[in-house]
Amino acid sequence: MSQMSGFNRRIQRSGAPGDPLRRGTPDLLLWRVAAATSIQQFSGIWWKRRLQRQHFLSGPYRCHGRAATISMNPSWQRPAAKAVAEGIEGVAFGDLFLEDVRAYRERQLEGTGLTPIFPVWGLPTQALAEEMIASGLRARLTCVDTEKLDSSFVGREFDSALLSAFPAEIDPCGERGEFHSFVYAGPMLTSPIPISLGETLIRERFAFADLTMNGGI
């Protein structure tokens, strides 16, 4: 499978006829910056700065200058209004099968003028995880819910060996909150993000892998 022909084309084709996702590439990326831990600060603030420089988003995922002008907050009203004013028609979510989460997204967008789009909804998660890895995506687990998965998994590479090591009850994509990850390389990036794995932090039931960017922000 070539880097751009499998997983990425599936995403491009997944919308129904007339969906905004089918009519062109995304021009806007919404993200949420949370500052509860150093890990979240890294993946939020640093991501924002790199987006502004446009160093690495390309292909069907390229975001233009507007990409860094809107960030999510607890209320969708302000960012949604700004997005609509800039010609944005829909928002794509990566939700896979949790009906309550999908309903929550749809409620958030009611009356905003934005259409919720779920391009990977209902895909078998084992096959999807394998396809992402085969497409060239590289990631590390940055957070593990220790009530669902042993803390030794935090910091591990998201690869075939990891999928094989997961207990049977763990969703391969972490859809039930078993883990969260940070993508540092893949077909949507023009070059890998240079990161180093630091110490493991335990906060209540969660284990975090502290990631740093080689060379600083």
Q: What is the pLDDT of residues 161-208, one digit of tens each?
A: 999 999 999 999 999 999 999 999 998 888 898 989 989 999 999 999
Distance of CA 146 to the CA centre of its chain: 21
Of all residues in the chain, the percent with pLDDT exceeding 70 is 64
Query: How confident is residue 215, by pLDDT bands cut at 50, 70 and 90?
Result: low
71/93 Cα distance (integer angstroms) = 15
Question: Which whole number is the average pLDDT over 106-110?
Answer: 89
Determine the pLDDT at residue 72.
42
**Mean pLDDT of the region 37-58:** 40
Share the mean pLDDT of the chain. Answer: 74
pTM: 0.70
How much is the pLDDT for 18? 43
For the beta carbon of residue 205, count every other beta carbon within 10 angstroms: 11
Phi-psi group of 205: left, alpha or beta (phi > 0 → left; psi -120 to 50 → alpha; rest → beta):
alpha
Assigned token pair, 75: 């209320």
Please tell me whether residue 90 adopts helix, strand or coil conformation: strand
